[in-house]
Amino acid sequence: MTAAAPSPSAGTPDNGAPSVAVIGGGQLARMMAQAAVALGVPLRLLAEGPGVSAAQVVADTTVGDYTDLETLRTVAEGCSVVTFDHEHVPTAHLHALSEEGHACRPGPGALVHAQDKAVMRARLTELGVPCPRHAVVHDAEDVARFAESVGGFPVVLKTTRGGYDGKGVWVVGSAAESGDPLAVAAAKGVQILAEEKVDFRRELSALVARSPSGQVAAYPVVESVQQHGICWEVVAPAPDLDPELSVQAQQIAMTVAGELDVTGILAVELFETRDGRVLVNELAMRPHNTGHWSMDGAVTGQFENHLRAVLDLPLGSPQARAPWTVMVNILGGDHGELSRDLYAGYRHVLARDPQLKVHLYGKDVKPGRKVGHVTAYGDDLDEVRERALHAAAWFRGDLGDESE
């Protein structure tokens, strides 16, 4: 690890491989690093602090602030491509880097649609992509007017920037309840987007990798099960999905990727409505939790395809290797010392299921925090789900001796 200069252990070998700068040291960067090992592509990491998830496994790590342009420049220098673990790098800095000749992938023109929900809704509507009805609101009267236009309360209010994993999202039952969200937005200097509360059957995710040359690889559409606003379980492919809706979801993802000039992974989170439509909920322009199943369940995992895409290499097959793959997040439990010792969970989990794949992120365990995920695959969905859910529950400490 170094303050600024690249580590002497991470010299580019004499085999032509370019270096990739990754901004952000979370688990997505960690899993990119794993894919980069196989590809023989050197990574340079900008991490938020020493010892964060990806910094543990990337030799060429700089600790610094991604909101500081000079730091970004230093890390980008000498790398062929700059890509991201998260969407929080200031848009202005991305423009500056791009203008100075650094290939940011995705670029700022694309990334703003994953950073600002109002910009995203406006653009998708322009493209004819089906979305929930929406409006930017400035006060309680706007909220009341919007509610009336969509058939009444409840409606959903979201900050246009900065929300994730259920943060910055409110469901309000009256105009009066919009006070808090409006105050939060005002304090943060962002706007509030109002959206109809969609009567959805379930949530889907359509993931594609797209390269600067325009090649696209579309992963099977998956079902994503949320718990308290956090992605919890993903089933690939989405069970009993109408083939037409599946194609439509993939087409939406390809359209969005192409029209917005996304490079790398684009995840389109969708609502499947009870009346048989798909509506875009959110966009993410990076490897996504709903694509983790692909590491063990697809021919080419999303992290490998993200790197291949940002490097403009031909993309790998996104097809599934088994009829069913289920990914379940390991969330930190609230059982004190026992929950913290994830490693101890291996003794039971691995012995019970020799086919299970486990990914731990090297994070300190805190209640509700994503600290890893498990993946099971096979021919029988019920059995595959049971295996993955059991393992994740065990790691969380919900099934251990202390509950007996």
Q: Is 386 flagged in the annotation as binding?
A: no
- Angle at the Cα of 356 from the Cα atoms of 350 and 362, rounded to 5 degrees: 75
Assess 91 for contact with a copy of itself (CB under 8 A). Answer: no
Q: Is 404 flagged in the annotation as binding?
A: no
Q: Tally Cβ neighbours within 10 Å of residue 352.
A: 12
φ/ψ of residue 320, rounded to 5 = -75, 150
CB-facing half-sphere around the CA of 390: CA atoms within 13 A: 15
Query: Radius of gyration over alpha carbons of the chain, in Å?
Result: 21
Assess 214 for contact with a copy of itself (CB under 8 A). Answer: no
Among 113, 210, 286, 308, binds a copy of itself (CB under 8 A): 308
Three-state helix/strand/coil letters over 240-287: CCCHHHHHHHHHHHHHHHHHCCCCEEEEEEEEEECCCCEEEEEEECCC
Q: Is 203 flagged in the annotation as binding?
A: yes
Q: Is 197 flagged in the annotation as binding?
A: yes
Q: Is 126 flagged in the annotation as binding?
A: no
Assess 313 for contact with a copy of itself (CB under 8 A). Answer: yes
Among 77, 139, 141, 341, binds a copy of itself (CB under 8 A): 341
Nearer to a copy of itself, 55 or 172 (CB): 55
Q: What's the token pair of residue 73? A: 């420049």
Q: Of residues 370-389, which lie at the interface with a copy of itself (CB under 8 A)?
A: 371-372
Among 4, 225, 247, 344, binds a copy of itself (CB under 8 A): 344
Could you give the C-alpha distances from 53 to 32, 336, 387, in angstroms and in order?
12, 21, 26
Residue of 287, 216, 396, 328 lying closest to 28 (CA atoms):
287
Nearer to a copy of itself, 193 or 330 (CB): 330
Among 181, 220, 316, 400, binds a copy of itself (CB under 8 A): 316
Among 239, 350, 367, 380, binds a copy of itself (CB under 8 A): 350
Among 21, 46, 57, 388, binds a copy of itself (CB under 8 A): 57
Assess 207 for contact with a copy of itself (CB under 8 A). Answer: no
Q: What's the token pair of residue 181? A: 């969200």
Assess 212 for contact with a copy of itself (CB under 8 A). Answer: no
Which range of residues in 219-227, 238-246, 263-271, 314-322 is near a copy of itself by CB under 8 A? 314-322
User: Which sign, positive or negative, has the C-alpha torsion 277, 281, 286, 290?
Assistant: negative
Nearer to a copy of itself, 144 or 338 (CB): 338
Cβ–Cβ < 8 Å for 384, 401: no
Residue of 329, 358, 355 lying closest to 344 (CA atoms):
358
Query: How large is the angle between the packed helices 140-149 and 179-188, nearest 10 degrees?
Result: 120
Which range of residues in 179-187, 194-202, 284-292, 352-360 is near a copy of itself by CB under 8 A? 352-360
Write out the binding residues for ATP: 117, 158, 195-198, 203, 281-282
Binding residue ranges = 117, 158, 195-198, 203, 281-282
